[in-house]
Amino acid sequence: MKAARDARSAAVVINAGSRRGAAHELAVDTMRKAGVPISSVHHVLSGGDLAGTLDRVIADGHDLVVVGGGDGTVSYAAGRVAGTNVVLGVLPLGTANDFARTLEIPNNLSEACAAVADGKVVDIDLGRANGEPFLNVASVGLSVAVTEALSPRLKRYIGPLAYGIATLRAYAGHKAFRARLEFPEGDHEPMELENLLQVAVGNGRHYGGGNTVSPTAGIDDHTLDIYGILAAPLREHVKIARLLKDGSFIEHDRVYHLTSRHVRLVTEQPLGVNLDGEIATSTPADFTVQRNAVHVVVPRSSTSALFDGPGAADWPSS
């Protein structure tokens, strides 16, 4: 399939609990009028409903599944279709919508529907943390506390600004931690890091409402960007924060940065791992990249990824 109109049958799965989930009826009608062959529409309100619904629509033989929701919803769906010939369409209905930003999918719902109908299909990488999928970034430390401080009500009413408020709350109570980074493929020596604020592993390019993983990060480069930020006086973290948008923070002397296809993170005590806004596993954690794992519809103007063809995916990477 090179475009959504080439699909035999499309299913739409909407997380009605996402920030803009109430707009699903308009989206479905818009895509149908644009020629997307939608034959079933499903609304979900919980993770359990999402898993069961995705399994059903894949089993029903739809070759295009359009998912509407935030980054957590889309990441989970990507994990379900990874390694198959099912193509994923994306309607960014969440708060941050960083995956859509990475692939240059419009945040405007009408334009996103048009991108599904008129776009092209590309292959993207999928990150895995202990087997659990993530598209943007997996992280340990401050970001977990930020996720815990975010409430659906806060995100719904003030949108992306909720991340700044939650970060301030989490930072005030953060405790530094130690971690060991191991590289099973032998491309780097093990690293012992102390007094950490956060460790993150990036698969995509954007996270956290528009921050950039690194200046060279991409979602089809078949590598993971790994960085550790050391605890420091507040003024230093303010300096780092100012460099998050373009990814140049990796050059700060309180930041360690490298790339690999496989890293294992070990901490003294088990710590939660945030996967695209969902705390889905804990340390010790193995992070791998599943190459060209997911076929996604993107705008024809998007330059973020290419189509390498079926059979290109291989997980785990070796």
Task: Please state, for a pLDDT cut of 70, what percent of the chain lies above it.
Answer: 88
Residue 143: helix, strand or coil by DSSP? helix
For position 219, what pLDDT does the model report? Answer: 97
Q: What class does CATH assign to 132-289?
A: mainly beta
For position 204, what pLDDT does the model report? Answer: 97
CATH of domain 4-124+292-298: 3.40.50.10330
Number of residues that this document lists for the chain? 318
> Residue 19: pLDDT above 60?
no
Residue 152: helix, strand or coil by DSSP? helix
> Residue 86: pLDDT above 80?
yes
* Catalytic residue annotation: 278
Give the model's confidence band at 152: pLDDT under 50 very low, under 70 low, under 90 confident, else very high: low
> Residue 43: pLDDT above 80?
yes
For position 274, what pLDDT does the model report? Answer: 95
The residue ranges of every structural domain in the chain are 4-124+292-298, 132-289
Closest CA to 28 of 13, 15, 18: 13
Contact predicate 84/123, CB 8 Å: no
Please tell me the pTM assigned to this model.
0.89
Residue position matching structure tokens 């992280």: 139
Mean pLDDT of 100-128: 95
Which contiguous run of DSSP H or E holds residue 226?
strand 224-230
Among 257-266, 274-283, 309-318, the range scoring the smallest mean pLDDT is: 309-318
User: DSSP string covering 88-140, please?
Assistant: EEEEE-SSS-HHHHHTT--SSHHHHHHHHHH-EEEEEEEEEETTEEESSEEEE
Rounded-to-integer distance, Cα 190 and Cα 266, Å: 11
Closest CA to 10 of 80, 74, 90, 71: 90
